[in-house]
Amino acid sequence: MIIYIQYTLFFLFQLCFIIQLYYLLVIQKKFSSYKPLENNLAEATFPVSVIICARNEAKNLQQYLPFVLEQKYPDFEVIVVNDCSSDGSDDVLRVFQGKYPHLKVVKIEEHPRYKTAKKFAVTLGIKAASNEILVFTDADCKPDSENWLSLIAVNYINPATEIVLGYSPYLHKSGVLNKLIRYETFQTAINYFSFALNGMPYMGVGRNLSYKKSLFFKGKGFASHMHIPSGDDDLFVNQNSTSANTELEIRPESHVWSEPKLTWKSYWNQKLRHMGAGSLYKKQHQFNLGLQAISSVGFYLLLIICLSLKIELIALGSIFFLRFLAQLYTYYKPMVSLRNKDLRWWFILLDPFYYIYLTALSFAGFFRKKTTWK
């Protein structure tokens, strides 16, 4: 009986390994070999509306909004939705409006009975937009260059394009938490970019995302998931993206840098706020992402169990090493192109920690209370 259990555990470990190889060498490897098209940025002349939702972001608006307002682009407006701020954001935006005539401000007043969700603020920003092409970012984000809007907009030269998925890395800081945050961001990005290249786009990140205003209203906006606090970015993309209407923009000058959380508690709370959206993904996406996550967690869990029971130790070590080589082979180029080159020798430690953290978040998500977006 004991031998039967041991063989079963080792078989399941090997099965998780094989599934992992599929995602690494078939799905994610496609992004590793991806080369963006070199378009002429001078052709990007479509009018663009940039939308930023901000709640108590006076300091970040003061620091980062000029980088958005001073983009080198021929025709654009910036809409800041000031969502019930009480920190002086009004004064900051009033000063900017005096200097930048292409800045619009939409103000939401505090309601005495309830807090508005971010989707409400985003919807108001979209309704205020004068242009068909919408580009989204956050108040604590800084475009890498003055060509950010041009690089996003040039993808709309293809008339079939309705969604453009950008990339938003976190700023490099010291400490293990910062490495974990950047590794989690890298894993998320390589996944949604890879699945998009395989004809299955399933999400985007609102810190650097673009879509057409007509697509928003054609898909009835956020109506089907307004009850979920998160999902203004990934759920919208999941429900409206296709292999034909979605493009990637990953060139370095198109990246939008974000401020990372500085404490474990704030990062934990941030990730908890994002929980719940995945339950409304398309069934095909739920299956693929679920199988990928289960095989990853299972790989490490079964590795620990088999090691503790001293089951096929040489084979265990060999399989672990082969998976590490497959990761190194698949991740090296993306880690360079997605600005995380320093993590390439850390991921052998960050990878198991990342999946342990996600598992803990999943359990905590069952008991979380309803949260607001800020």
Mean per-residue pLDDT, 228-245: 87
Q: Is pLDDT of 112 > 70? A: no
Helices (H), ranges, 233-312: 234-240, 264-274, 283-308
Sheet holding 246-248, edge to edge: 103-108, 76-83, 48-54, 133-138, 209-212, 163-165, 246-248
| pLDDT tens-digit series, residues 340-353 | 999 988 888 899 98
Where is mean pLDDT largest: 102-116, 268-282, 283-297? 283-297
User: Is the pLDDT confidence value at 278 over 90?
Assistant: no
Q: How confident is the model at residue 302 (pLDDT cuts 50, 70, 90)?
A: very high
User: Which comes out higher in pLDDT, residue 212 or 365?
Assistant: 212
Residue 12 is predicted with a pLDDT of: 96
Q: Is the predicted pLDDT of residue 104 greater than 90, yes or no?
A: yes
Domains belonging to the chain, first-starting first, are: 2-32+284-362 (no CATH), 41-177+201-267 (3.90.550.10)
Q: Which two tokens stand for residue 137?
A: 């970012």
pLDDT of 368 over the 90 cut: no
Residue 30 has pLDDT above 90, yes or no: yes
- The secondary element (H helix, E strand) that includes residue 319 is helix 313-337
Share of the chain above pLDDT 70, in %: 93
Question: Is residue 100 scored above 70 in pLDDT?
Answer: yes
310 or 189, higher pLDDT: 189
Nearest to 223 by CA among 214, 211, 232: 232
The answer on pLDDT for 369 being more than 60 is: no
